[in-house]
Structure 1
Amino acid sequence: MSSAAEATGSRTDLLPRRRVLGYAMGDAANNVAFQMTSLFLMVYMTDIAGVPAAIAGTIYGVTKVWAGVTDLVAGNTVGRRETRHGRLRPWLLWASPFLVVSLVLLFSTPAGLGPMATVAWILLFDAAFQLCYSFVNIPYGSLSAAMTENATDRSRLSGARSIASSITGVVLSLVLSPQFEDTTADGIRLTFTLATVALALIAMILYWVCFRNTREVVPPGTGTLTLRTTLAMVVRNKPLLLLCLGALFLLGGSFTMNAVMMYYARDVVGGAGYFTLLFLAQTIGTIAAATAIPAITEKFGKRIGYVGLALVAVAGLVLIGLTPTGSLPLALLAFLVYGIGFGGTNALMFSMQADTVDYGEWKTGTRAEGGSYSVLSFVRKTGQGIGGALGGAIIGAFGYASGAPEQTEQAVQGIKIAAGWAPAVLCVIAALIIVLYPLGAQEHRSIVQDLRQRRARASVGATKPGGAVVISRDGQRLIATRPVVTINEQYGAGASSVGARVAEQLGVAFAGTRFSSEDLERASSSRPRVLEDSRTGRSLRWLHTFSWPTVEVDVAAESGEAQITSQMVRQNVGEVMKLVKDSGGVVVGRDATMILGDVQGAIHVRMEGEVEDRVARATVDYELTPEVAAQRQVREDRMRPRMSGRLMGWDPAEPTRYHLIIDTSRMSLDEAVEEIVAAVEAQQGE
């Protein structure tokens, strides 16, 4: 598929900036905890707690694999309970206190413990930390799929979290890396504990900010969420499986480097203080790539962007392996290039994972944001564990000596292999795997549209009453026992006048369109962000998404208001059924033709006409100038069919849905009334 076909077509930012920034604060909180362990736990174990490198690498690997298991447990737990704050967001508050306590204890190993007890302490609290982290990170990571269905907005969220993660890493390196210059100094353990306590409190505040500023708007799927249904979804979710396999190698490479990065700064570049400079260079690259992720998504698509950026990461890793001992400038360049490649690839991975949630629901009926994210997270953690263990094994095999003032030339070469060459090979494999990723932008848009139609049909099926006066069930059929007429029109064809007169003659209720011409006019000319925080503003913002002049923008825009769309479907279906259930009725618009389409005995009418005739009629009927009437004709003939397509998944222009199609350019409105009444009477007489 060409890159053009993979472009999303989005041109409009839909998520408010505060939602994106609020979401990013959650990853800042996550990485206060996560990067403490991924960047500093290995060197803390070897140089402060006194654990041999090979054993430290084993602990690192075992607890990361354990973390993958806890991710699966969390993923099939967090999405089950619906609260007034959503299914995912509350976990940020519920689980984070346990997370920060376990983090503080992990970096508070008592000095008087023997070797076995030290290993046991670190292993126990690292395992507890990973368990708590799963119940915070899985719901956090799953939020991007629940906050929006728009591909570009998901890339904005992923880019923002990647930037927040990188900045957090820089801050941590500034605070903690100087401590490793002299790991034999008095009070080094207490210093670490106090620093961890301060960082833990900051993390709690950031989790609260994220909770307050995010919202879950994508409706849950209809399938029951269990471990069994999640695994069944995963088995049939080829995009997710390929994404996970690529993640295994990508994260394996990244964490092989991460595990030895402090050693690289100290023993290759020349000092522990250089760690901050290297990490800053990597962060600058990551931020540059993450900022460009939405543009990369639109121009090239996620698959091509992922592969290209992974190869950039490979180039950076090769430079890391080639950097001569003591060459800070070349090392900074290498980490900058690596940061661009890995930071961008990692951000795209999260955005792609959110898309696989939609694919899984489309394929199996199970929407499992938490389950899908937990499967990816399990594989990522497994890759991290393999990478950390590999890094420790490599430097151990090349003779790294804990606490030695200088390392041998052979040990330094082992550090270069662990930091550069080995990760480069793993990243090449990851890129080759993602070449096979099948979920392009056009496929994803089609899946999202189909899912909306399914939800609309499900809402209709759930709302249709049985045994009512007008609509009763006869086996599988819905039968109208009193007159029911639906009228759909092109603007200015005269449906409101005709519908009211038909209802009067038949002695039934009449209901006009849900949204007036004035509503659509106001929505088209409003600035929806200004109006967003009121109920009226949210409705106008929703209507505003139909006013864009191109289909591409409209397709992208509709993803941003999924919650309002879902609510609108349920409300509209309920109101239409209520209007006609007691004594029949005539309904204009409101997608009543679709809602009551299965009702035997209902008459469905379409009213059309030549544009100039409809504009002339609207000028008289609504006392408008010809210019205003012409503007409304163009606007409403575009917006109302789009609304029907999004809400109920049908095309009002499809002639097979109607019993009568009346051309009011050739038939008077009086004749139209007579025709409809005659059709109803004939139907009732059968």
Structure 2
Amino acid sequence: MTQQSDVLAVPPAVDAAPSVLPVTLREKIAYGLGDVGNGFMFDLGQIYLLKFYTDTLGLPPAAAGGVFFFTKIFDALADFSVGTWVDRRQRIGPRGKFRPFMLYGAVPLGLATVASFTQPDFSPDGMLLWAYFTYMLFGLIYSIVNIPYGSMIAAMTQDPVERAQLAAWRQGGSNLALLITTVSFVPLLSMAPATPQGALCVVALFASAGVALQLFCYANIRERVRPATTAARDRAPLPLRPALLAIVRNRPLLLLCLVNVLTFSAFNVKLVAQVYYCQYVLQDINILPWMGFFSMGCVFLGVLCVPWLSKHRGKKFTFILGCAIWALGELCNYFWPAPDSVSFILFSCLAFYGSALVNSLYWAFASDAVEYGEWRTGLRTEGMVYAFFTFSRKLSQAIAGSLPGVVLAWVGYRPNSLQTVEVQHGMTLLMFIYPGALALLTLLIWWRGYRLDEQRYEEILLDLQRRSG
């Protein structure tokens, strides 16, 4: 089938010159739904796969944590390769520079998601190798889809308000996926046959929905920005060494990656630890869907507040405020004298609201770093910027995936049994102190170190327009 007759290849993906047309509401919704699709597949692994490894495949906690650590390091290196591949593309067709990766990668990503939760009849060593293989395969395909998807904001608009809105829509989509997987996955498992095939059907349901939403996103967004300063790339691939040097000289990006390691590992450790905390400390796994429902409601409230706060107080202020609220919620949960389900949900809502203010802005900050890098070096490297940013996210995921397994092994965790006081305290530290302390550290770093505010960004954008004009 030719590109012209492809029913998904609408609207035209790339304008011949930079466009001032605003991003439509349909595009914003479609872009947000794209991350719902990503999240349906990614969140299953990030939240439930460690418990699947320890309690279903029978892997030791430390070995299961090692699967997460080493596969995420592999994924981080894969991100660089994908980012370089994207930036060095020469033949840009009517589908655009980034959108084809979403089209051709969606179905393989869904299949890799299902494979990660299969239970083959292997020996213990074979099970461990299977876990490494399937999760590495998932991570590789996820990079191929997600690097171009994340780079799309910089290609859709150069308006800082629209970028903040797109980032908020994306974070809203991510949080919606997290809400649905947290609230519905365990009840759906209880409704399915109590067999590996029954659980696999639930995973396949999420994966199929994720694929459909990614294809919907592909069909309803467009790429607008092709600055004149990068026109030479239509004739020759971007050399790797200058692209890497451009990343090293991009101070806002480096700082963004540092705090992202801190906050994203904090957030993901909390997601993993909450399954164990609800089952073994509160001794009620059924509280998890309720906690997910109410806390994700507060996340959506935070996402809705981000555009207004960013417009009237600035992105930096909003980010710092989010860190403060996040840390307050975590520390209140830890120091509350008599933990129970009500106080746990209440303070978790406060913490998740703060985390929404933080996480909603990362994509806007990363897009701003694209223009900063172009202004500083003359090279526009959306793919490499986003790849380096996601490298920090994969590093944080490696920490988040391995740390709970290591801590659980250290304190003496035994699956599907009563836990000692030491084990319960270890789960509590993972759940509250680790994310709360890193949120405070992030607040201090961003307050003292980040200088690319709205005024500075506008000056850089005007200078880039003068160069190209």
Flag whether TM exceeds 0.5 (same fold).
yes
RMSD (Å) for aligned C-alpha atoms: 2.0
1:219 corresponds to 2:223:
no
Q: Give 1:174-253 correspondences, 5 Å limit.
A: 174-178=183-187, 187-220=194-227, 221-222=229-230, 224=233, 225-253=238-266
1:89 corresponds to 2:99:
yes
Take 2:124 and 2:189, find their aligned partners in 1: how far apart are those partners?
A: 21
Judged with a 3 Å threshold, the aligned counterparts in structure 2 of structure 1 residues 109 and 437 are, in CA distance, closer, same or farther, namely: same
Judged with a 3 Å threshold, the aligned counterparts in structure 2 of structure 1 residues 344 and 108 are, in CA distance, closer, same or farther, namely: same
- Relative CO higher for 1 or 2, CA cutoff 8 Å, sep ≥ 6? 2
Judged with a 3 Å threshold, the aligned counterparts in structure 2 of structure 1 residues 180 and 16 are, in CA distance, closer, same or farther, namely: closer
Take 1:234 and 1:324, find their aligned partners in 2: how far apart are those partners?
A: 47
Give the letter aligned to residue 203 of structure 2: T
Take 1:149 and 1:54, find their aligned partners in 2: how far apart are those partners?
A: 45
Cα distance, 1:270 vs structure 2: 2.8
8 Å CA contact 2:320–2:443 kept in 1: the answer is yes
8 Å CA contact 2:155–2:225 kept in 1: the answer is yes
Question: Corresponding residue for 2:154?
Answer: 145
Q: Normalising by structure 2, what TM-score?
A: 0.90
1:61 corresponds to 2:74:
no
Question: Corresponding residue for 1:43?
Answer: 51
1:106 corresponds to 2:106:
no
8 Å CA contact 1:25–1:161 kept in 2: the answer is yes
8 Å CA contact 2:184–2:289 kept in 1: the answer is no
Question: Corresponding residue for 2:165?
Answer: 156
Cα distance, 1:321 vs structure 2: 2.6
Take 2:334 and 2:200, find their aligned partners in 1: how far apart are those partners?
A: 34
Judged with a 3 Å threshold, the aligned counterparts in structure 2 of structure 1 residues 193 and 443 are, in CA distance, closer, same or farther, namely: same
- Structure 1 stretches of 4+ moved >4 Å: 179-182, 323-326
Could you tell which deviates more after superposition, 318-327 or 382-391?
A: 318-327
Q: 1:480-525 deviations in whole A, cap 9, x for unaligned?
A: xxxxxxxxxxxxxxxxxxxxxxxxxxxxxxxxxxxxxxxxxxxxxx
Q: Give 1:566-645 correspondences, 5 Å limit.
A: none
Give the letter aligned to residue 37 of structure 2: A
Give the letter aligned to residue 69 of structure 1: L
Cα distance, 1:296 vs structure 2: 1.3
Could you tell which deviates more after superposition, 390-399 or 137-146?
A: 390-399
Cα distance, 1:17 vs structure 2: 0.7
Say which of 383, 389, 395 aligns to 1:382: 395
Q: 1:512-539 deviations in whole A, cap 9, x for unaligned?
A: xxxxxxxxxxxxxxxxxxxxxxxxxxxx
8 Å CA contact 2:168–2:306 kept in 1: the answer is yes
Cα distance, 1:174 vs structure 2: 3.1
8 Å CA contact 1:285–1:339 kept in 2: the answer is yes
Q: Give 1:253-264 correspondences, 5 Å limit.
A: 253-264=266-277
More helix by share: 2
1:32 corresponds to 2:44:
no
Cα distance, 1:268 vs structure 2: 2.2
Take 1:235 and 1:70, find their aligned partners in 2: how far apart are those partners?
A: 19
Cα distance, 1:51 vs structure 2: 1.2
Q: How many residues align?
A: 441
Say which of 119, 124, 132 aligns to 2:128: 119
8 Å CA contact 1:265–1:278 kept in 2: the answer is no
Take 2:194 and 2:351, find their aligned partners in 1: how far apart are those partners?
A: 35
Take 1:236 and 1:265, find their aligned partners in 2: how far apart are those partners?
A: 45
Judged with a 3 Å threshold, the aligned counterparts in structure 2 of structure 1 residues 434 and 23 are, in CA distance, closer, same or farther, namely: same
Question: Corresponding residue for 1:412?
Answer: 424
Q: Which runs of 5+ in 1 are unaligned?
A: 1-11, 457-686
Q: Normalising by structure 1, what TM-score?
A: 0.62
Question: Corresponding residue for 2:3?
Answer: none
Q: 1:90-144 deviations in whole A, cap 9, x for unaligned?
A: 110111222111111111122x221111111011010010000001111111111
Cα distance, 1:217 vs structure 2: 0.6
Take 2:170 and 2:69, find their aligned partners in 1: how far apart are those partners?
A: 25
Q: Give 1:209-358 correspondences, 5 Å limit.
A: 209-220=216-227, 221-222=229-230, 224=233, 225-323=238-336, 327-358=340-371
8 Å CA contact 1:319–1:331 kept in 2: the answer is no
1:429 corresponds to 2:407:
no
Give the letter aligned to residue 169 of structure 2: A
Cα distance, 1:325 vs structure 2: 6.9
8 Å CA contact 1:48–1:189 kept in 2: the answer is no
Q: Which runs of 5+ in 2 are unaligned?
A: 1-19
Say which of 171, 174, 177 aligns to 1:165: 174
Take 2:199 and 2:241, find their aligned partners in 1: how far apart are those partners?
A: 43
8 Å CA contact 1:64–1:381 kept in 2: the answer is yes
Q: 1:260-286 deviations in whole A, cap 9, x for unaligned?
A: 111112122332221111122221121
8 Å CA contact 1:52–1:402 kept in 2: the answer is no
Judged with a 3 Å threshold, the aligned counterparts in structure 2 of structure 1 residues 325 and 85 are, in CA distance, closer, same or farther, namely: farther
Cα distance, 1:166 vs structure 2: 1.3
Question: Corresponding residue for 2:16?
Answer: none
